[in-house]
Amino acid sequence: MAMDDAPQIYLVTPPEFELGRYPDTLARVLDGAEIACLRLSLATRDEDRLTRAADAIREVAHKADVALVIDTHVVLAERLGLDGVHLLDGARSVRAARKTLGADAIVGAYCGQSRHDGMGAGEHGADYISFGPVSGALGDGELAERDLFAWWSEMIELPVVAEGGLTEEAVRALAPVTDFFAVGEEIWREEDPLAALNRLRAAMV
């Protein structure tokens, strides 16, 4: 990514949402902001709930010409005709996911703070690498530091995503060295998600 290119927004659903209400909220955000990709990221592993959620938001996403991927569930991505999968185990599942979903599918890999996992995922066919969290006390307390993104952007051509604990300050610091920001709960917990997204977006420029 050229240093003067503004990062793109990779939107992530909340871990829980009401099927009767969330699609309308999502539609307003997709109508009001330029979104590169949408990720279905529910806390549940119940396939019926995941399927109903995917069906509810797929139409909204595709109407806005936004690709829809799902966390972890390669089989559901294939069965439901989604655009791809976001894997949470670094490089371990990338090769199998690529083989199952084919060359045209989006396969991304969350690699925590591990440069090694990121490189391995790229070698196995990932389309992008995600590092995080970038701030806050999420997970095990370890953070993906700016130096990691700076090194990746300079040395590796594969797109990199920053996620987890995004604040305006963190976004401003990382904007020159990341290709995408995965924005999720940071906006959905706000009364006006689109306004919250636009505040983060303003910090990216």
The pTM score is 0.95
pLDDT of 1 over the 50 cut? no
| Beta carbons within 8 Å of 129's beta carbon, 6+ residues apart | 108, 109, 111, 118, 121, 122, 152, 156, 158, 159, 160, 161
CA–CA separation, 110 and 86 (whole Å): 7
What per-residue confidence (pLDDT) applies to 2?
A: 35
CA–CA separation, 65 and 172 (whole Å): 27
CA–CA separation, 75 and 145 (whole Å): 33
Domain residue limits, the chain: 8-196
pLDDT of 27 over the 80 cut? yes
Q: Mean pLDDT, to the nearest integer, of 157-181?
A: 97
Q: Mean pLDDT, to the nearest integer, of 95-123?
A: 97
Q: Mean pLDDT, to the nearest integer, of 12-27?
A: 96
Question: For all residues of the chain together, what is the average pLDDT?
Answer: 95
Write the single-letter amino acid at 14. P
Alpha helices in the chain (DSSP H): 22-32, 47-63, 74-79, 94-101, 115-123, 146-155, 168-174, 185-188, 193-204
Rg over alpha carbons for the chain, rounded to the nearest Å, is 16
CA–CA separation, 163 and 12 (whole Å): 10
Residue 112, by phi and psi: left (phi above 0), alpha (psi -120 to 50) or beta? Answer: left
Residue 159 banded pLDDT, cuts 50, 70, 90: very high
Q: Mean pLDDT, to the nearest integer, of 125-144?
A: 87
Contact 55, 47 (CB under 8 A): no
Q: Mean pLDDT, to the nearest integer, of 43-55?
A: 96
Q: Mean pLDDT, to the nearest integer, of 45-52?
A: 96
Indicate the fold that domain 8-196 takes in CATH: TIM Barrel (3.20.20)
Q: Mean pLDDT, to the nearest integer, of 77-94?
A: 96
| Beta carbons within 8 Å of 57's beta carbon, 6+ residues apart | 13, 22, 23, 26, 38, 40, 68
